Amino acid sequence: MTVTSMDLLLWARGPGFEAAVVIFTLGMVWRLIEIFSLGRKPDLSLPRERAGASGLNTVFRRFLFPPGMLRRAPVTYLGGYVFHIGFGIVLLFFIPHIELARGVVGFGWPGLPTPVVDLVAVITMVTLVVMLVSRITDPAKRLISTVEDYLTWALTLAPLLTGYLAYHHLLLPYQTMLAVHILAAELLLVAMPFTKLIHFVTVFPARWYNGDLFGHKGVPS
């Protein structure tokens, strides 16, 4: 039996997609239980109140540059912003993606013109390459990097790259590349709960705890 590109596409769109969503959902629930079931001890010291010093404040404040830091690590900061915003735009405002969402959740939203998304995708991929170079050349980043960092980098780039290639009908026949693209996205989804990619959710409790620990002492962090 030979697997045709149509078989692959059908599997990716059907059972593959369902499996990825189930693994992602169960994985996320499991990991969040793992984290929060550890609990924490109550703090018996008398708290100090100060406006702007709380868990919620820090959740929002950490979207900004801390004073003096942009100058010290411009590549990391700018790369971080450009990548996250770019990835978000491509994921959420590419019209076929919105149509997919409409099929799953029952509603859609306005998209961006495809040439705009196309440009954003290129910028995002270039940024990822810059970030990889920075990871390899910056001594601190290089030391703390593990196989997981390079693996998640590849898993993040893969849907962007295959999507770009599929749209431009490059390298493989469109239908095959589209199937590869969907599979790449599913792989990313499956990896999310079990790798550092989980930060897309845990960043909120982590920042909240930070702000709460500092906030207890009246320090806006």
Partner 1 sequence: MSASLERGVALFKEAIDAPIASFFSSCVHCGLCAEACEFYVDTGDPKYTPIHKLDPLKRLWRQEYTLVGRIAKALGLSRPITDAELAEWSELVYDSCTLCARCSMVCPVGNDIAYMVRKMREGMAVAGHAPEGLIFATTRTINVGSPMGVSIDTVKAQIRHQEKETGETIPLDRVGVDYMVLLSSMEVVNYPEYLGALAKIFKQAGVTWTLSSDGFEATNSGIQIGVSDLAREIVQRVVDAAEKLKVKGVVSPECGHAYTALRWEGPNLIGRPYPFEVVHIVELLDRLRQEGRLRTSGKTDTPLTFHDPCQLVRRGGVIDQPRNLLREVAGDFRDVADRGVMNWCCGGGGGVSTNDRAEPLRLAAFRQKKEQLDAAGVSTLVTACANCRVVMEEALEAYHMEHVQVLGLTELVAEHLAQAEEARKAA
- Compute the least distance from the CB of residue 177 to partner 1, in Å: 29
Give the three-state DSSP class for 51: coil
Q: Which of 188, 127, 186, 123 is nearest to 155 (CA)?
A: 188
Give first-to-last CA distance, the chain, whole Å: 61
Interactions with partner 1, residue window 184-213 (CB under 8 A): 194, 196, 198-199, 202-203, 205-211, 213
Choice from 58, 124, 127, 162 touching partner 1 (CB under 8 A): 58
Residues 119 and 189: beta-carbon distance below 8 Å: no
Residue 195 Cα distances to 39, 60, 155, 169, angstroms: 21, 24, 11, 32
Q: Given the complex with partner 1, which of 11 and 153 has the nearer CB atom? A: 153
Interactions with partner 1, residue window 111-140 (CB under 8 A): 135, 138-140
Cα 49 to the center of its chain, rounded Å: 35
Question: What number of residues does the chain have?
Answer: 221
Choice from 39, 106, 110, 115 touching partner 1 (CB under 8 A): 39
The verdict on 51 binding partner 1 (CB under 8 A) reads no
- Compute the least distance from the CB of residue 127 to partner 1, in Å: 14
**Is residue 155 classed exposed, middle or buried when 0-12, 13-18 and 19+ CB atoms within 10 A define those classes?**
buried
Binding mask 76-95 for partner 1 (x = CB under 8 A): xx--x---------------
- Compute the least distance from the CB of residue 36 to partner 1, in Å: 5
Number of residues binding to partner 1, judged by CB under 8 A: 61
Give the amino acid at 59: V
The verdict on 31 binding partner 1 (CB under 8 A) reads yes
Choice from 149, 158, 172, 176 touching partner 1 (CB under 8 A): 149
The contacts found for 160-168 with CB under 8 angstroms, 24 or more apart, are 160/87, 160/90, 160/121, 160/124, 160/125, 160/128, 161/125, 163/90, 163/94, 163/121, 164/118, 164/121, 164/122, 164/125, 167/114, 167/118
The verdict on 45 binding partner 1 (CB under 8 A) reads yes
Q: Given the complex with partner 1, which of 2 and 45 has the nearer CB atom? A: 45
Choice from 5, 28, 50, 122 touching partner 1 (CB under 8 A): 50
Cα 64 to the center of its chain, rounded Å: 18
Note the residues at the interface with partner 1 (CB under 8 A): 30-31, 34-41, 43-46, 48, 50, 53, 58-59, 62, 66-69, 72-73, 76-77, 80, 135, 138-146, 149, 194, 196, 198-199, 202-203, 205-211, 213-214, 216-221
